Amino acid sequence: MTYIAKPKLHHPALTPNGLGYLRRDYEGSVSTLCAGCGHDSISAAIIQAAYELDLPPHRVAKLSGIGCSSKTPDYFLGNSHGFNTVHGRMPSVTTGANLANRELIYLGVSGDGDSASIGLGQFAHAIRRGVNMTYIVENNGVYGLTKGQFSATSDRGSKSKKGVVNHDAAIDMVGLALQLGATFVARSFSGDKAQLVPLIKAALRHPGPAFIDTLSPCVQFNNHAGSTKSYDYVREHNEAVNRLDVIADRKPIEVDYEPGTTISVTQHDGSVLALHKLSDHYDPTDRIAAMAYLGERQAAGEIVTGLLYVDPEPGDLHGALGTTDRPLNSLSDAELVPGQAALDRINAGLR
């Protein structure tokens, strides 16, 4: 297990960011989740990431499905428009929203039940279409909201709180995302804010489908011995391949690392991802190698975390469709409605 020095942050709560917003300007309603729920830590990380990136809160659209995890968009970015959709269908709604206005930043939050069980299809298709969004799955291996049934990411052999052993194979969302063409794929842990915050920042700046599988223990239903999604289990088996710093255009974050172990990836928007290698030979720009490595480490019982894959020059759905650079929702009558002359031509062709 690897421990890393935390970045030095100067009382962020009280320091205005580049837009003059305080950290609390990125907060939302008070959470109603169980005390200690991993999802709350992820909300805090999202707040931190948006604050550090100087995002105008109202330019973020936050969407979710249904579940404890999907409730969380109410608990961060209170000035952003949010949409708590239906169970398992956040990806399609986000796809449509993104088509309507390509200028907003789309943050989809979902659960493992929401995205791997009922919504597996929509997850897969949003990724393969290349919707420009950050897609966070708050993965606790159970349905929290319906009181602890196994979800599709539950590992085979893991034990429920009531002692039932799961006999079904687990769906590995990171593996799927890589296979389906996500151009940014990460795994992290709600209990490791130092790792998670930069990953969310990098994902938000990534101009393509960015997926973060975030292990997020459910203290109520899946934090016992025999569970593979408990705090203890994840801490013990967590193997980070790298540590990330996001150097957004303005203010690099200082961290002390041993020299010679850092590689930089410049994203399309100019942000630089400084990756500090923790695992020898791991190259996060090599998708095939990443898939092989993950398969191997998983077989060895490790939970590999970090930035697992990034394509610094991704395409997205708008690129594929050749849509106008302007938001479709802003086009005027003159641009959309062809008028009688065009209709006359069409009429003439129908006689």
For ligand SF4, the binding residues (CB under 6 A) are 33-34, 37, 39, 68, 140, 144-145, 218-221
CA 249, CA 111: separation in Å to the nearest integer? 32
140 lies in the site for Mg ion, by CB under 5 A: yes
CA distances from 112 to 256, 326, 345 (A): 35, 34, 53
Stretch near ligand TPP under the rule CB under 6 A, chosen from 17-25, 138-146, 197-205, 301-309: 138-146
DSSP label at residue 114: I
Which residue in the set 94, 110, 214, 223 belongs to the binding site for other proteins (CB under 8 A)? Answer: 94
| Contacts for 248-254: CB closer than 8 Å, 24+ residues apart | 248/52, 248/53, 248/54, 248/201, 248/205, 250/18, 250/54, 251/18, 253/7, 253/9, 253/52, 253/198, 254/7, 254/8
Q: How far is the CB of 119 from ligand SF4 (least distance, A)?
A: 17
143 lies in the site for ligand TPP, by CB under 6 A: yes
In sequence order, the 6+-apart residues with CB closer than 8 A to the CB of 32 are 71
Using CB under 5 A as the binding criterion, the count of chain residues that bind Mg ion stands at 4
Q: How far is the CB of 269 from other proteins (least distance, A)?
A: 18
Residue 221's binding partner, choosing from ligand SF4, other proteins, ligand TPP, none, with beta-carbon cut-off 5 to 8 A by kind?
ligand SF4
Residue 258's binding partner, choosing from ligand SF4, Mg ion, other proteins, none, with beta-carbon cut-off 5 to 8 A by kind?
none
Beta strands in 47-104 (DSSP E): 60-64, 81-84
Residue 34's binding partner, choosing from other proteins, ligand SF4, Mg ion, none, with beta-carbon cut-off 5 to 8 A by kind?
ligand SF4
CA distances from 96 to 19, 72, 79, 213, 329 (A): 29, 21, 21, 23, 11
What is the Cα gyration radius of the chain?
Answer: 21
274 lies in the site for other proteins, by CB under 8 A: no
47 lies in the site for other proteins, by CB under 8 A: no
Beta strands in 233-271 (DSSP E): 238-240, 242-247, 262-266
Site string for ligand TPP, 240-279 (x = CB under 6 A): ----------------------------------------
Choose among 270, 267, 263: nearest CA to 284: 263
Residue 346's binding partner, choosing from other proteins, Mg ion, ligand TPP, none, with beta-carbon cut-off 5 to 8 A by kind?
other proteins
40 lies in the site for ligand TPP, by CB under 6 A: no
What are the backbone angles phi and psi of residue 102, rounded to the nearest 5°? -75, -5
111 lies in the site for Mg ion, by CB under 5 A: yes
Q: What is the dihedral of CA 326, 332, 334, 337, to 10 degrees?
A: 100
Interface contacts to other proteins, rule CB under 8 A? 56-59, 61, 63, 73-74, 78-86, 89, 91-101, 103-104, 121-122, 125, 129, 317-318, 321-325, 328-331, 333, 335-340, 342-344, 346-347, 350-351
Interface contacts to ligand TPP, rule CB under 6 A? 66-69, 87, 111-114, 138, 140, 142-146, 151
